[in-house]
């Protein structure tokens, strides 16, 4: 059943003995054992990029923190998922994200259904210790059915990945760098004028926040439908 | 071409040069060129012609002589006579001095016995300032490509790697990873197609070692890459060079063309089965592309964003093939190591840092320029002996090594030996070799802000700690320098430095806090002066304790 | 479907597109040649614009958004036509220590433009560079492609005033129109 | 503390730049207000008459963000005179809706409100109305805050819980019962 070169490993995650295949990541094995590791840029069914740093874990013998979503398991690995340091860093990641753009939860279409908001609550973020940056960002309402509000974007690139990896349109990508990074459609034209967009709406459904939403929704009304993703991750599993 | 041809070219070139009584060398590296060195050269040539000295006197353009501050530089008679700050009008005086032994005006005479010249040990720079960088014959006459021939005809790949391992050479790009180990990993990696990449994206502001090597001795880098290709089993190499270095790119192009037409690059090198081709790829102004996975993404034609390692490029790099990435200076060390043996190289330097290191001395120091010294020389010797100390009798404050990834080392550590581990122990890094000297006219808060501004705008924006963390840290430093900060801002700053260092995805973010951390550690009094007294001790910032903004 | 390379025609009949075409051909129209080709476009036309990006994207079969993402990731690429003269102030560490911020201010005051901008008459673009590697000559400035070292605020102001006193440049139709 | 002499805790509530929704929510504790009444003295609040913020306040609940020089002045005084300062609701905790104007330059905001959108008497206020700050800030950007109760508005249960816990001498932990935007 296994591919050549793939071995079964035993490892310890959060003091529990776990078993996994050497082509699985720490996160995948942890999930199988019901051990919670917070994630944000990751979405099962899409490629993993290790960008948000929420899933950092400590691996015994390594002086670097490892992103659980891309780090493969190894025989004898000892993984710490929760430590005061990791908790502090995860909180700081969320605080930095809230400070970066204008996430005004109370008036957001995904208020109550937002991955960022939910994670902040779960990890005990109750205020943002660094000053808000307050960038001046636009809302793109040019698409007939969808809305892109850059104020809510956390640059996780789920939309970029789903569009290129699943839909095959590659309408979305990132422009600029550092603080000027933004998601764009085509040559940074309004979304509604995009030549490559198929209007499938997958980007909207995978978006963790209110950055991409369906039109006509009031605050708190936008529920994301991700039913198609388990199928994708299953196909991915079969494929490897 | 085979080994005999090579020997013939070397002999002929040497003989050709020995016909002349005087060889007058004019530095035509970028530094001196910007001070009209090319006109100096033209003037010298026409003066030689006018005096009918063509048969006994040769004027040639050479690479960097090191002391850029005093350029344009001219040297003659095996560097016994040296001239500085030369203008085309000085051509007559120079020829009078070289040919007729008349004393030249004091203003242009340079003491060739300066510590700056005599205290150096040149391996990487052995040909810089000696050979014409645009003539492959000159390089061959200086034992060039001998090592490559030796390797492909007499050594097995593992034999090459053994010498490199023995030499103790560590990566000169900054992190100091053992070169032999890296080569071994790529050699062992499975795969029929492998690549060698030369990282010439010298992005550290204040560092120009690689630029100088490429401009002064480009063939040395090509030879090092070809040897590496043979050792790891790669037949294709890329040089990823900054587009900001047009002269280096031009000379590399010339060198590659010459090497190809001489059969030193291409198929069946030296009539063996070894093929090796090199292509240049231009960077486009992104510091993060010095990070190896970002560099690979850039060569692949994409945004230069790094990805998490493992897998390391040695296992899965360019187009997922095993890829060896070393920087310019590392490759420049390879040929001499092969020629003279790993043990010879290992005899130079300190226990854990072998060989020599090229440094770019700049900032508030008299002799700004390029030096190569054995590892382990003290910072004090480098700055005060070779560097000639601080101008205008001002007081030394700190030396910044390692660029935006390094730290500011204060006076109390001037006697530490310069090697990878000692610099790390005081919070800095060796880095690629930039050394910026600062005196009392520099404000350390301003320096920290300068580097944080650099990291912020060079961050690729992929991971949150680096993208937002550097921005927040920069904003705090800006508030401090403008006098708008409170004491609790320092706590937030410290908290962010630790988090960004440990949680960032790549080296850029992981080292971005270093300049801030070291200035916080060694110059806290300056931070306090800004925050508590609204005063910048160096007079650079203009902090205003702004109750006005509060309005009550 | 994207048209094949053969049927894609350049945005204009400007002969300089042949240089770009040549570069793409040399790389077999492979997508990974994107950055090399963008370099060629900028070298040839002085800057990148939407038409050029669209043409390169279609020819190399790279998605539009990716081409735009790459063009804006690298600071060497510019989407604005440059002025007749350029003044690049090096803001590397050595130059910073030796007063580059003052040089920058001097130009900004004299020309009334900020870094990255071009004067309204099209005579001067003010740019900054991260490091020219001419640290031995700090502070360094590049005037129209020529590196000059040990620059003082007096030097730079004089040079900039010379550029600015030249007659207005917008009329001779450099840049945008030509590019299209 | 003064508990021995006066068994009732001195409590204040303040309304800065907010919509008063948090105060409405506070009133939504309904009959439980009687339980509180036995334990607290409401020494300052939009709901009572006191004009000046008193000294020696045990607990102050502050609704709203810091948007004007008056807010700034008040919060500093409040902090000075308060033992436990509670940021009540998203405006106090995050800046929330009032902070949405920070992305625009203040002069543009003023022009928009007092000039472009004004039907009569187009003029910028120069007196009586306190000057606005360039940036709208949450409380903790200006003073130390002891307890954060996010929510827009936080539910009456959460407010009641927070105050009751404090009266019992415990630091309330509300992270699992309320959040930004709740």
Judging contacts by C-beta atoms under 8 Å, the chain C residues touching residue A171 are 63, 65
* Nearest chain D alpha carbon to A106: D181
Do chains B and A meet with 3 or more Cβ pairs nearer than 8 Å? yes
| CB spacing of B308 vs A67 below 8 angstroms | yes
Residues A141, A48 share a domain: no
D107 in a structural domain: no
CATH topology for the B444-549 domain? de novo design (two linked rop proteins) (1.20.1440)
Q: Residue A178 — left, alpha, or beta (φ > 0 → left; ψ -120 to 50 → alpha)?
A: left
Q: How many domains does chain D have?
A: 1
Judging contacts by C-beta atoms under 8 Å, the chain D residues touching residue B486 are none
CA distance B455 to chain C (A): 11
**A with B: how many residue pairs have Cβ under 8 Å apart?**
97
Judged on CB neighbours under 10 Å (0-12, 13-18, 19+), B280 is middle
Residues A121, A36 share a domain: no
Give first-to-last CA distance, chain B, whole Å. Answer: 84
> In sequence order, what are the residues at sequence separation of 6 or more whose Cβ sits closer than 8 angstroms to the Cβ of residue B449?
B474, B477, B478, B480, B481
Point out the residues of chain D with pLDDT beneath 50.
1-3
D121 in a structural domain: no
Q: How many domains does chain A have?
A: 2
Tokens matching residue B425: 């122990």
| Longest CA–CA separation in chain B, Å | 87
> In sequence order, what are the residues at sequence separation of 6 or more whose Cβ sits closer than 8 angstroms to the Cβ of residue D158?
D149, D151, D174, D177, D178
DSSP-assigned beta bridge partners for residue B438: B398
Q: Which of residues 77-136 of D touch A (CB under 8 A)?
A: 87, 90, 93-97, 99-100, 102-104, 135
- Probe site for chain A from D153, D181, D182 (most A CB atoms < 10 A): D181
CA distance B199 to B185: 18
CA distance D76 to chain B (A): 11
Check pLDDT > 50 for residue C172: no
D111 in a structural domain: no
What homologous superfamily does CATH list for B17-112? Glutaredoxin (3.40.30.10)
CA distance A60 to A63: 8
**A with D: how many residue pairs have Cβ under 8 Å apart?**
70
Strands A139-140 and A146-149: antiparallel
Per-residue tens of pLDDT for chain B, all 552 residues: 888 899 999 999 988 888 899 999 999 998 888 888 999 999 999 999 999 988 889 999 999 999 988 989 999 988 889 999 999 999 999 999 998 888 999 899 999 899 999 999 999 999 999 999 999 999 999 999 999 999 999 999 999 999 999 999 999 988 889 999 999 999 999 999 999 999 999 888 888 999 999 999 999 999 999 999 999 999 999 999 999 899 999 999 999 999 999 999 999 999 999 999 999 999 999 999 999 999 999 999 999 999 999 999 999 999 999 999 999 999 999 999 999 999 999 999 999 999 999 999 999 999 999 999 999 999 999 999 999 999 999 999 999 999 999 999 999 999 999 999 999 999 999 988 999 999 999 999 999 999 999 999 999 999 999 999 999 999 999 999 999 999 899 999 999 999 999 999 999 999 999 999 999 999 999 999 999 999 999 999 988 865 544 433
DSSP-assigned beta bridge partners for residue B362: B436
3-state secondary structure of B219: helix
Nearest to A117 among D87, D145, D179 (CB): D179
| CB spacing of A104 vs D100 below 8 angstroms | yes
* Nearest chain B alpha carbon to A175: B303
Residues A179, A68 share a domain: no
DSSP-assigned beta bridge partners for residue B110: B82
Cβ of A100 under 8 Å from any chain C Cβ?
Answer: no
- Stated as kind and residue range, the H or E segment containing D127 is none
Nearest to B461 among A56, A130, A155 (CB): A155
Per the CB < 8 A criterion, the answer to whether B280 and B200 are in contact is no
Judging contacts by C-beta atoms under 8 Å, the chain B residues touching residue C140 are 34
| CB spacing of D181 vs A124 below 8 angstroms | no
> A touches which chains (3+ CB pairs under 8 A)?
B, C, D
Query: Whose structure tokens read 């070809």?
Result: B226
CA distance D177 to A203: 31
Cβ of A196 under 8 Å from any chain C Cβ?
Answer: yes
Judged on CB neighbours under 10 Å (0-12, 13-18, 19+), D128 is exposed
Cβ of A184 under 8 Å from any chain C Cβ?
Answer: yes
CA distance B232 to B185: 8
A1 in a structural domain: no
Backbone angles phi, psi at B350, to 5 degrees: -105, 180
Q: CB-hemisphere CA count at 13 Å for B512?
A: 39
Tens of pLDDT along D126-162?
888 899 999 999 999 999 999 999 999 999 999 999 9
- Probe site for chain C from B244, B280, B391, B539 (most C CB atoms < 10 A): B244
CA dihedral B511, B515, B517, B518 (to 10 degrees): 120
Cβ of D152 under 8 Å from any chain A Cβ?
Answer: yes
CA distance A178 to B409: 28
CATH topology for the B144-346 domain? Rossmann fold (3.40.50)
> B touches which chains (3+ CB pairs under 8 A)?
A, C, D
Q: Which of B336, B351, B388, B395 is nearest to B116 (CA)?
A: B388
Mean pLDDT score, C87-114: 92
| CB spacing of C65 vs A176 below 8 angstroms | no
CA distance B517 to B520: 5
Q: Which of residues 3-62 of C touch B (CB under 8 A)?
A: 30-36, 38-39, 62
DSSP-assigned beta bridge partners for residue D11: D42, D59
Judged on CB neighbours under 10 Å (0-12, 13-18, 19+), C12 is middle
In CATH, what number is assigned to the domain containing residue A68? 3.10.20.740
| CB spacing of B360 vs C135 below 8 angstroms | yes
- Probe site for chain B from A38, A90, A96 (most B CB atoms < 10 A): A96
Residues A202, A167 share a domain: yes
Contacts of A222-227 spanning 24+ positions with Cβ under 8 A: A222/A109, A222/A110, A222/A113, A223/A113, A224/A110, A224/A113, A226/A43
> In sequence order, what are the residues at sequence separation of 6 or more whose Cβ sits closer than 8 angstroms to the Cβ of residue B319?
B193, B195, B300
Mean pLDDT score, C35-58: 96
CA angle B197, B202, B204 (to 5 degrees): 140
Q: What is the mean pLDDT of chain D?
A: 93
Q: How far apart, in Å, are the Cα atoms of A54 and each of A4, A119, D102?
A: 32, 10, 29
H helices of chain A, where? 26-32, 84-100, 115-122, 158-161, 202-206, 228-239
| CB spacing of A170 vs C73 below 8 angstroms | no
Judging contacts by C-beta atoms under 8 Å, the chain D residues touching residue A128 are 94, 138
CA dihedral B119, B124, B126, B127 (to 10 degrees): -140
pLDDT value of residue B265 = 97
Tokens matching residue B501: 């260092």
Residues A57, A146 share a domain: no
Check pLDDT > 80 for residue A174: yes
Judging contacts by C-beta atoms under 8 Å, the chain A residues touching residue B471 are 100, 133, 178-179
pLDDT value of residue C7 = 67
Judging contacts by C-beta atoms under 8 Å, the chain B residues touching residue D72 are 550-552
Judging contacts by C-beta atoms under 8 Å, the chain A residues touching residue C73 are 175-177
Check pLDDT > 90 for residue C139: yes
| CB spacing of C129 vs B69 below 8 angstroms | no
Domain that holds residue D139: 9-102+135-167
pLDDT value of residue B1 = 80
In CATH, what number is assigned to the domain containing residue D77? 3.40.50.700
Tokens matching residue A133: 């940056």
| A235: number of Cβ within 10 Å | 10
Q: Which of B78, B82, B104, B100 is nearest to B17 (CA)?
A: B78
Length of chain A: 240
Per the CB < 8 A criterion, the answer to whether D94 and D136 are in contact is no
Cβ of C53 under 8 Å from any chain A Cβ?
Answer: yes
- Probe site for chain C from A155, A186, A197 (most C CB atoms < 10 A): A186
Nearest to B464 among A97, A177, A178 (CB): A97
- Stated as kind and residue range, the H or E segment containing B40 is helix B37-50
3-state secondary structure of D61: strand
> Residue C169, Cα to own-chain centre: how many angstroms?
17
D181 in a structural domain: no
* Nearest chain C alpha carbon to A179: C73
Domain with CATH 3.10.20.600 in chain B: 356-439
| CB spacing of D90 vs A105 below 8 angstroms | yes
A3 in a structural domain: no
Residues A192, A152 share a domain: yes
Domain that holds residue A223: 108-227
Q: How far apart, in Å, are the Cα atoms of B109 and each of A201, B9, B104, C150?
A: 74, 35, 6, 21
Q: What is the mean pLDDT of chain C?
A: 87
Do chains C and A meet with 3 or more Cβ pairs nearer than 8 Å? yes
**Preceding peptide of C155 cis, ω within 30°:** no
Tokens matching residue B334: 């390879």
Tens of pLDDT along A96-131?
999 999 999 999 999 999 999 999 999 999 999 999
A19 in a structural domain: yes
CA distance A120 to A98: 9
pTM of this structure: 0.94
pLDDT value of residue D3 = 46
Judging contacts by C-beta atoms under 8 Å, the chain A residues touching residue B470 are 178
Q: How far apart, in Å, are the Cα atoms of B526 and each of A224, B442, B547?
A: 51, 11, 21
3-state secondary structure of B359: strand
Residues A69, A140 share a domain: no
Judging contacts by C-beta atoms under 8 Å, the chain B residues touching residue D134 are 549
| CB spacing of D90 vs A106 below 8 angstroms | yes
DSSP character at residue B482 = T
Tens of pLDDT along A41-73?
999 889 999 999 999 999 999 999 999 999 999
Residues A204, A131 share a domain: yes
In CATH, what number is assigned to the domain containing residue A166? 3.30.70.20
CATH number for domain B356-439, candidates 3.30.300.30, 3.40.1160.10, 3.30.750.24, 3.10.20.600: 3.10.20.600
Q: How far apart, in Å, are the Cα atoms of A5 and each of B356, C69, D35?
A: 43, 37, 69
Per the CB < 8 A criterion, the answer to whether A124 and A92 are in contact is no
Task: Quickly state the pLDDT bin for C167 (edges 50, 70, 90).
Answer: low
Q: Which of D175, B465, B292, B507 is nearest to A56 (CA)?
A: B465
DSSP for chain C, written as a single string: -PPPGGG---SS--TTHHHHHHHHHHTTT-GGGHHHHHHHHHHHHSS--HHHHHHHHHHHT--HHHHHHHHHHSTT--SS---SEEEEEE-SHHHHHTTHHHHHHHHHHHH---TT-B-TTSSEEEEEES--S-GGG-S-EEETTEEE-S--HHHHHHHHHHHHHSPP-GGGT-THHHH-
**Preceding peptide of B311 cis, ω within 30°:** yes
- Probe site for chain A from B499, B511, B549 (most A CB atoms < 10 A): B499
Judging contacts by C-beta atoms under 8 Å, the chain D residues touching residue B549 are 134
| CB spacing of A164 vs C53 below 8 angstroms | no
Task: Quickly state the pLDDT bin for C180 (edges 50, 70, 90).
Answer: very low
Q: Residue B191 — left, alpha, or beta (φ > 0 → left; ψ -120 to 50 → alpha)?
A: left
Q: How far apart, in Å, are the Cα atoms of A182 and each of A117, A155, B435?
A: 21, 7, 36
* Nearest chain B alpha carbon to A85: B499
pLDDT value of residue B203 = 86
Length of chain C: 180
């Amino acid at each position: 059943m296994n591919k050549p070169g793939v071995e079964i490993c035993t490892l310890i995650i959060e003091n529990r003995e776990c078993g996994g295949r050497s082509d699985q990541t720490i996160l995948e094995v942890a999930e199988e054992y019901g051990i919670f590791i917070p994630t944000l840029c990751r979405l099962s069914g899409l490629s993993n990029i290790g960008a948000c740093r929420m899933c950092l874990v400590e691996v015994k013998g390594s002086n670097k923190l490892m992103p659980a979503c891309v780090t493969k398991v190894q025989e004898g690995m000892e993984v710490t998922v929760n430590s005061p340091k990791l908790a502090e860093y995860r909180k700081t990641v969320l605080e930095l994200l809230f400070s970066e753009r204008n996430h005004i939860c109370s008036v957001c279409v995904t208020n109550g259904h937002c991955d960022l908001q939910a994670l902040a609550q779960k990890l005990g973020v109750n205020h943002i210790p660094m000053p808000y940056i307050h960038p001046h960002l636009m809302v793109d309402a040019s698409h007939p059915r969808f809305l892109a509000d850059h104020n809510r974007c956390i640059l996780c690139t789920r939309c970029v990945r789903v569009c290129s990896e699943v839909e095959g349109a590659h309408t979305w990508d990132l422009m600029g760098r550092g603080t000027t990074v933004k998601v764009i459609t085509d040559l940074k034209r309004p979304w509604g004028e995009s030549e490559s967009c198929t209007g499938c709406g997958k980007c909207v459904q995978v978006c963790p926040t209110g950055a991409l939403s369906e039109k006509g929704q009031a605050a708190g009304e936008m529920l994301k439908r991700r039913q198609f993703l388990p199928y994708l991750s299953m196909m991915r599993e079969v494929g490897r | 071409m085979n080994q005999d041809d090579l020997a013939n070219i070397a002999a002929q070139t040497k003989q050709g040069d020995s016909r002349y009584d005087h060889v007058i060398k004019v530095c035509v590296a970028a530094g001196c060129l910007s001070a009209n060195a090319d006109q100096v050269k033209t003037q010298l040539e026409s003066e030689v012609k006018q005096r009918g000295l063509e048969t006994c006197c040769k004027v040639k353009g050479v690479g960097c002589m090191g002391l850029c501050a005093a350029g344009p530089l001219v040297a003659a008679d095996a560097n016994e006579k040296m001239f500085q700050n030369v203008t085309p009008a000085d051509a007559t005086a120079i020829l009078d001095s070289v040919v007729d032994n008349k004393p030249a005006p004091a203003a242009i005479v340079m003491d060739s016995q300066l510590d700056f010249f005599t205290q150096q040990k040149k391996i990487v720079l052995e040909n810089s300032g000696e050979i014409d960088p645009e003539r492959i014959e000159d390089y061959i006459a200086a034992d060039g490509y001998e090592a490559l021939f030796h390797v492909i005809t007499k050594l097995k790949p593992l034999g090459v790697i053994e010498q490199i391992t023995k030499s103790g050479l560590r990566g000169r790009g900054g992190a100091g990873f053992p070169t032999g180990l890296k080569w071994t990993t790529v050699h062992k990696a499975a795969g029929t197609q492998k690549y060698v990449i030369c990282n010439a994206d010298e992005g550290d502001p204040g560092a120009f070692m690689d630029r100088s090597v490429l401009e002064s001795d480009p063939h040395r880098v090509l030879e090092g890459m070809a040897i590496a290709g043979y050792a790891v089993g790669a037949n294709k190499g890329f040089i990823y060079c900054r587009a900001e270095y047009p002269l280096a790119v031009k000379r590399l192009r010339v060198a590659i063309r010459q090497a190809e037409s001489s059969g030193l690059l291409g198929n069946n090198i030296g009539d063996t089965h070894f093929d090796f081709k090199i292509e240049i790829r231009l960077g486009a102004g992104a510091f993060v592309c010095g990070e190896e996975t970002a560099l690979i993404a850039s060569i692949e034609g994409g945004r230069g964003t790094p990805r998490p390692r493992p897998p390391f490029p040695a296992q899965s790099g360019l187009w997922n093939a095993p890829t060896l990435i070393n920087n310019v200076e590392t490759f420049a060390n390879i040929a001499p190591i092969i020629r003279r043996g790993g043990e010879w190289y290992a005899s130079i330097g300190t226990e854990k840092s072998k060989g020599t290191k090229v440094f770019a001395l700049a900032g508030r120091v008299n002799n700004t320029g390029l030096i190569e010294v054995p590892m382990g020389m003290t910072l004090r010797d480098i700055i005060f002996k070779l560097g000639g100390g601080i101008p205008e009798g001002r007081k030394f404050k700190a030396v910044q090594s390692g660029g935006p990834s390094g730290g500011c080392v204060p006076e109390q550590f001037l006697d530490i030996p310069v090697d990878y581990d000692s610099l790390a122990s005081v919070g800095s890094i060796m880095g690629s070799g930039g050394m910026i000297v600062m005196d009392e006219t520099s404000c350390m808060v301003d320096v920290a802000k300068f580097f944080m501004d650099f990291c912020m705008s060079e961050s690729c924006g992929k991971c949150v700690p680096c993208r937002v963390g550097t921005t927040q840290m920069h904003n705090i430093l800006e508030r401090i320098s403008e006098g708008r900060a409170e004491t609790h801002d320092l706590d937030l700053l410290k908290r962010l430095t630790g988090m960004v260092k440990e949680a960032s995805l790549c080296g850029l973010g992981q080292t971005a806090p270093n300049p801030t951390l070291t200035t916080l550690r060694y110059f806290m009094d300056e931070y306090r002066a800004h925050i508590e007294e609204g005063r910048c001790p160096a007079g650079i910032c203009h902090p205003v304790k702004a109750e006005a903004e509060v309005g009550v | 479907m994207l048209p094949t390379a053969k049927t894609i025609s350049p945005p204009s009949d400007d002969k300089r597109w042949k240089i770009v075409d040549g570069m793409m051909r040399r790389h077999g129209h492979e997508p990974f040649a994107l950055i090399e080709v963008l370099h060629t476009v900028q070298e040839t036309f002085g800057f990148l614009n939407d038409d050029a990006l669209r043409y390169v994207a279609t020819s190399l079969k790279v998605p539009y958004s990716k081409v735009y993402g790459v063009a804006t990731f690298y600071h060497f690429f510019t989407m604005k036509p440059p002025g007749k003269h350029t003044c690049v102030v090096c803001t590397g560490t050595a130059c910073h220590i030796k007063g580059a911020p003052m040089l920058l201010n001097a130009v900004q005051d004299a020309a009334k433009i900020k870094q990255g901008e071009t004067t309204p008459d099209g005579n001067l673009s003010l740019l900054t560079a991260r490091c020219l590697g001419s640290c031995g000559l700090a502070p360094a400035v590049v005037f129209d492609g020529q590196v000059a070292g040990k620059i003082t605020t007096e030097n730079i102001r004089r040079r900039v005033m010379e550029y600015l006193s030249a007659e207005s440049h917008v009329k001779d139709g450099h840049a945008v129109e030509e590019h299209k | 503390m003064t508990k021995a002499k006066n068994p009732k805790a001195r409590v204040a509530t303040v309304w800065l730049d907010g919509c008063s929704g948090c105060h409405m929510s506070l009133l939504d504790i309904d009959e439980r207000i009687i339980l509180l009444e036995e334990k607290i003295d409401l020494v300052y609040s939009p709901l009572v008459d006191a004009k000046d913020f008193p000294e020696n306040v045990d607990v102050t609940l502050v609704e709203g963000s810091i948007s004007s020089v008056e807010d700034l002045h008040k919060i500093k005084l409040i902090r000075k005179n308060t033992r436990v300062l509670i940021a009540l609701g998203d405006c106090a905790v995050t800046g929330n809706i009032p902070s949405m104007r920070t992305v625009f330059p203040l002069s543009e905001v003023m022009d928009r409100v007092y000039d472009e959108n004004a039907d009569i008497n187009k003029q910028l206020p120069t007196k009586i109305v306190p000057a606005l700050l360039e940036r709208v800030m949450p409380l903790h950007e200006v003073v130390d805050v002891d307890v954060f109760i996010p929510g827009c508005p936080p539910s009456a249960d959460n407010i009641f819980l927070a105050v009751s816990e404090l009266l019992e001498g415990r630091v309330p932990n509300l992270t699992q019962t309320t959040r930004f935007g709740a």
